[in-house]
Structure 1
Amino acid sequence: MTTIRSSLFLLLTTPLLPACAAQPGVDYTVRLDRARNQIVRIEATIDQPGEQAEFVLPTWRPGRYGILDFAATVRTFDAVDQSGQPLPVEKIRKNAWIVDAGGAESVTFGYDIFANELGLRTRHADDSHVFLNGSSIFVMNPARRLEEHIVRFDGLGDWQVASGLARADSENALVAANFDVLVDSPIEIGEHRLIEFELQGVDFEIVIWGECAKTDEELSDDFGKIAEACMDIFQSNHFDRYVFLIHSADGIGGGTEHLNSTIMQTRPSSFTSESGYRGFLGLVTHEFFHTWNVKNFRPAGITPYDYDKENYTTQLWVAEGSTSYYDDLLLARTGQRTIQNYLDAVAGSIGSVRGNPGRAMTTVEQASYDAWLKFWGPSSPDHRNTNVSIYTQGHIISLALDMLIRSETEGAGSFDDVMRLMNERYPYESGGYTPEQFQETIAEVAGTSVEGFFERHISGVDQMPLEDLLSTVGLELILRDPDPVPFAGLSLRDSGGRTVVSRVFDNSPAFEAGLILDDEIVSADGVRLDADKWSDILDESEIGDSLTMGVFRRDNYREVELTIAGKVSQRYDLELVDAPTDAQRVHFEDWIGQPWPERD
């Protein structure tokens, strides 16, 4: 039974907890009087600090495995004792400070944050709202990390507060069981649209900042279908309340999973476009599925979080890629995308995986380990030659494993069972799962060893036999055009009146010709070109043709010979077989949750 409650404004959308019997480990005050200037002041107070008190601001945030160095936005800092008397404070490294407490009864470390970052979902303030991702805002006192933390707000005015955190004994305060809960529970402050519904004993809230053309009923119905599909897989909930925070504004997009909440960003047009809304619902599915995969069971390498540096694991392809597999699949199961639309999306992902030159060089395990450098780290044009996406590659590996399990068990098992068992056996409190435990769980569900599959396709770079695996559910993977097409391995872009090289594929004709990034290409066979003209020339070329390319490199002119090669385009269609067996029909329907489509 789903019940809907709607309101334009939200006070503190959390149950009231009884007053705390003891002082919190850290008591924060968030001062909002300069929010319209994008400045937020934080004051962190601890009692009985001893001679010194250390305060550390995380360098990254949960859900994005890249160093962001939030301390760079700290404008000023200071410290006082219980009487407001100044105390000496020293910065001891880029993100840490020591206060000389000198036996004071309490220490308050205060600092101003410049909050003008919205797209990465860290901290943003203006005259319409304040968004706080805890890891970018709140300092940690390492000695009290596991103690209770309280957040109070000063200067709210008519604004309201929304968060997955529980409400403390004050109208304007939230409480977290420890620092990890605090920084994994984003806070949205302002005037919001609130939609509430209940499902399977869980209270859900949808909180929207910005424009959204969908009605309360449409959103609660669509979110409810997604939530129910996820809950049906795991068959257990470790939370009794969940908050969907939504930012709707032009120029933003993406989402981040948190303990019992998510922050999702999209454009207002996503709510008026069929394809845009379908994409947004995919984001909703992805982030909510993470409530189990990552937030409840996560790789040992990132459990618990070390906020001071990179946390390495080879299993991000499971954390992100397996989740990506379900954010497409579950919308097909709920009927929120058509079967054909889903199959087209899968075929596109397969083409992306097979057409990526980095697939021959980098395993998905290595890509997981290097995500801090090559996915969320500093961008390099060469990453497209040497790296694979933990999202897309992990998605297709999860699809392949699902097909393998269904085939080996004659439909008695599936990847759903793997996810459910991982959630049951390796909750957060267990310290995280190892690669061996994940592989063993798959083997148990499949009833056979999967060591060879892992060696070839996860620890190795061999191409997966998707054509054979997908036949399990009566699907045929078809290469659209097996004939090679002209290929130069060269991408150009127009910039400031110049046409420059933006990408060179490894071992391509452009690579062999010695072209490099940022070379200015002025002509091909004496014909002046720009990026569009280059596309036309390539389309009109034949395999084996030789082109004389006029090139400026650091203002020095040269000519190089480029010989057009042939390459088979990795574009696929995923189609239903003409005459499915009874087993294929059953496996298909169990997998996708819809009847086998009958052809006219």
Structure 2
Amino acid sequence: MTQTTIGSSVSRGSVQPPAVAYFIDCQQGHTHLLQVTLRLTAPQSDVLALHLPVWTPGSYLVREYARHLESFAVTTIDGAPREWWKCRKNQWQVACSPGEAIQVRYAIYAHELSVRTNHVDRSHAYFNPAAVCLYAPEYRDRPLTVTVTAPPHWRLTTPLDPWGEDPFTVWAANYDQLVDSPFEVGTHSVYYFEVAGKPHELAVWGEGNFEPTRAIADLQRIISTEAALLGGLPYDRYVFILHLTHKGYGGLEHANSCSLLFDRFGFQQPDQYRRFLCLVAHEFLHLWNVKRIRPQALAEFDYDNENYTTSLWFVEGVTSYLDQLIPLWAGVFDASHYLKLLGQSINRYLQTPGRHVQSLTAASFDAWIKLYRPDENSLNSQMSYYLKGELVALLLDLRIRLNFNHQRSLVDVLRRLWQQFCDTQAGYTPDELWQTIETVADENLESWRQAFLDGTDDLPLGDWFSQVGLELVAQDALPYTGLQFKQDRGALHIKAVLRHSPAEALGLVPGDEIIALNGWRVQGEEWSDYLRECQVGQAVEVTWCHDQRLHSGTLVLEPPQPHYQLRCSAQATPEQRAHLEAWLGTTAQNL
């Protein structure tokens, strides 16, 4: 493996003409194929090895990009065929003469619209180079160019800089920088704006009710807030790529850009628009927390295999915690909305039985096989490192703030990591990360590490909220059955059965269809309506269908699961309210 380079470490003027060149043709969008040509000089051996990554940084799942590669062929630049063979699922070998100029042609099927894959149609081409571009290990550290061929009147948006006068030819200092640079090609709209004297671009593909003037003003506030927190902007230019699609949602961070996917008609709904701003804050914060400050296991990417780390709880959890605070501090929504979002996170955490099964460090390590592959048992056996990581970050932040009367905070941990690791690119070990947290907190927190990171103890949320004048207030909820349902046009198909629940005791399983409750046919919301008429401890008769057979049995209703609203306490002392105001940056009267 080689040292991963963040951003362009050398100027174009100091680079010799690259020995590796990619040519990507996206003119046949109706076929959903990218036609790729790779030209390079064979190394000083008689075999050239070529690899295609199995994953892309920031999305911790082996996605097997090679399954979309077809029509592989190799010739010399003059067109003479060369023998080749496939030696692994994502690796090819080519017989060649040392120093010979080789041309590799292949096609990539691109019909998955997500931030981590490729999508090509008549309207645009979006691709992540890890899912498109073969590489030779010997040339991984060498500069390269990419030339895109597109239909007339299309434009190219990417964080990479142009090579020469052709706007469709760009260059990267090495393959790692290429992988870190998504491409959007098409007739998309591009909006230009500045923050702190640095240029930013917002490329928007798709139709909807997006309002660029409003959104750009809010993006500027978020960018300025994060820059102030972490001492400036560590790039020369930044690119946002936004895709508008039906019910879309997602984001993927890069060193000098990010890709965003959002609901095309979600921008006029206040809560949805605020969700979009949190997504922006999250992916933008990653340009520090993981792209430049990262675990040692992610300092050098192995594109052929999983890259294991137990620190994703910090990478994603701390970012998830701050992605809701940053829009608040930036003034794009208020503290009451922040408390609403935080309350939702708390309820999701408390309603996940898997929090007693999987620790945060285990969840981080097993991201490759669990988080991105949820099934009907995931709630029972897993804990999201995003969700619990957010709440652990919250507790650490409050502990540091209260110890130092808000003169220190969790942001100081990021600042120290930035000072310590930004220049070396070596990455921190789990122990170095925890030592930095303890240094900022100025106390031994090993018991917290054992209980909340390596263990499965419940988080003492109420105790810490009370110190800043907040309280968790129980809300009315339905009697507990342990059932979760799929949305299926009125039919009540079971999505999940929670462990140690009445439904599990009755023998209900995911996939079963609930037919009736106490002899009454139920569909959709009727289940909740009927449960509201029942009492805790009551035995109700359930009729369901399993494998085309009808069954009936008795289910005993249990007390509702915890469901809370987070709000200011009427009994809060002036000191507690002062802590709340210092943390949230607002007066308690506004809550």
TM above 0.5:
yes
Match of 2:41 in 1: 47
Cα shift readout 1:484-525 (whole Å, capped 9, x = no counterpart): 852221234575996443221101111122222223444444
Q: Which moved more, 1:284-293 or 1:431-440?
A: 431-440
Q: 1:549 to 1:414 in 2, by over 3 A?
A: same
Match of 1:573 in 2: 566
Cα shift readout 1:99-125 (whole Å, capped 9, x = no counterpart): 111346211111111111113441111
1:295 alignment partner, SS class: coil
What letter corresponds to residue 554 of structure 1 in structure 2? D
Cα shift readout 1:279-321 (whole Å, capped 9, x = no counterpart): 1111111110010001111112222121112211111111111
Q: 1:392 to 1:586 in 2, by over 3 A?
A: same
1:183 pairs, out of 176, 179, 182, with 179
Match of 1:253 in 2: 249
What letter corresponds to residue 442 of structure 2 in structure 1? G
Q: Measure how far apart 1:421 and its partner are.
A: 1.1
Match of 1:399 in 2: 394
Q: 1:205 to 1:598 in 2, by over 3 A?
A: closer
**Structure 2 residue 483 is matched with structure 1 residue 487:** no
CA contact (8 A) 2:335 2:590 kept: no
Q: Measure how far apart 1:476 and its partner are.
A: 2.7
Q: Which moved more, 1:201-210 or 1:184-193?
A: 201-210
Cα shift readout 1:157-213 (whole Å, capped 9, x = no counterpart): 321111111211241311111111101110111123222222224221112222365
Q: Measure how far apart 1:532 and its partner are.
A: 3.8
1:270 alignment partner, SS class: coil
1:65 pairs, out of 52, 57, 60, with 60
1:231 pairs, out of 197, 221, 227, with 227
Q: Summarize the alignment of residues 4-153 of structure 1 with structure 2, pairs less than 5 Å apart.
A: 18=12, 21-49=15-43, 50-103=45-98, 105-153=100-148
What letter corresponds to residue 440 of structure 1 in structure 2? Q
CA contact (8 A) 2:470 2:566 kept: no
1:457 alignment partner, SS class: helix
Q: 2-side partners of 1:254 and 1:128: how far apart?
A: 21
Provide the alpha-carbon RMSD of the alignment: 2.4
CA contact (8 A) 2:490 2:523 kept: no
CA contact (8 A) 1:406 1:472 kept: no
**Structure 2 residue 354 is matched with structure 1 residue 358:** yes
2:453 pairs, out of 434, 454, 458, with 458
Match of 1:296 in 2: 292
Q: 1-side partners of 2:212 and 2:555: how far apart?
A: 59
Q: Which moved more, 1:335-344 or 1:510-519?
A: 510-519
1:102 alignment partner, SS class: coil
| TM-score, structure 2 normalization | 0.92
Match of 2:380 in 1: 385
Q: 1-side partners of 2:521 and 2:347: how far apart?
A: 33
Q: 1:104 to 1:25 in 2, by over 3 A?
A: closer
> Which contiguous aligned blocks of 4+ residues in structure 1 show a shift greater than 6 angstroms?
none
2:397 alignment partner, SS class: helix
CA contact (8 A) 1:82 1:106 kept: yes
Match of 2:3 in 1: none
**Structure 2 residue 580 is matched with structure 1 residue 588:** yes
Match of 1:538 in 2: 531
Q: 1:380 to 1:222 in 2, by over 3 A?
A: same
Q: Which moved more, 1:563-572 or 1:169-178?
A: 563-572
2:272 alignment partner, SS class: helix
CA contact (8 A) 1:167 1:175 kept: yes
What letter corresponds to residue 542 of structure 2 in structure 1? M
What letter corresponds to residue 489 of structure 1 in structure 2? G
What letter corresponds to residue 190 of structure 1 in structure 2? G
Q: Summarize the alignment of residues 279-428 of structure 1 with structure 2, pairs less than 5 Å apart.
A: 279-377=275-373, 379-427=374-422
2:264 pairs, out of 247, 263, 268, with 268
Match of 2:274 in 1: 278
What letter corresponds to residue 466 of structure 1 in structure 2? L
Q: 2-side partners of 1:33 and 1:516: how far apart?
A: 49
Q: 2-side partners of 1:549 and 1:216: how far apart?
A: 51
Q: 1-side partners of 2:481 and 2:533: how far apart?
A: 12
Q: 1:511 to 1:232 in 2, by over 3 A?
A: same
Q: 1-side partners of 2:588 and 2:558: how far apart?
A: 42
Q: 1-side partners of 2:305 and 2:581: how far apart?
A: 45
Q: Measure how far apart 1:430 and its partner are.
A: 3.4
2:146 alignment partner, SS class: strand
Q: 1-side partners of 2:547 and 2:577: how far apart?
A: 62
CA contact (8 A) 2:192 2:202 kept: yes
Q: Measure how far apart 1:477 and its partner are.
A: 2.9
Match of 1:8 in 2: none
Q: Measure how far apart 1:594 and its partner are.
A: 2.7
What letter corresponds to residue 581 of structure 2 in structure 1? E
Q: 2-side partners of 1:552 and 1:275: how far apart?
A: 38
Q: 1:341 to 1:243 in 2, by over 3 A?
A: same
Gaps in structure 2 of 5+ consecutive residues:
1-7
**Structure 2 residue 508 is matched with structure 1 residue 512:** no
Q: Which moved more, 1:206-215 or 1:235-244?
A: 206-215
CA contact (8 A) 2:49 2:136 kept: yes
Q: 2-side partners of 1:154 and 1:487: how far apart?
A: 58
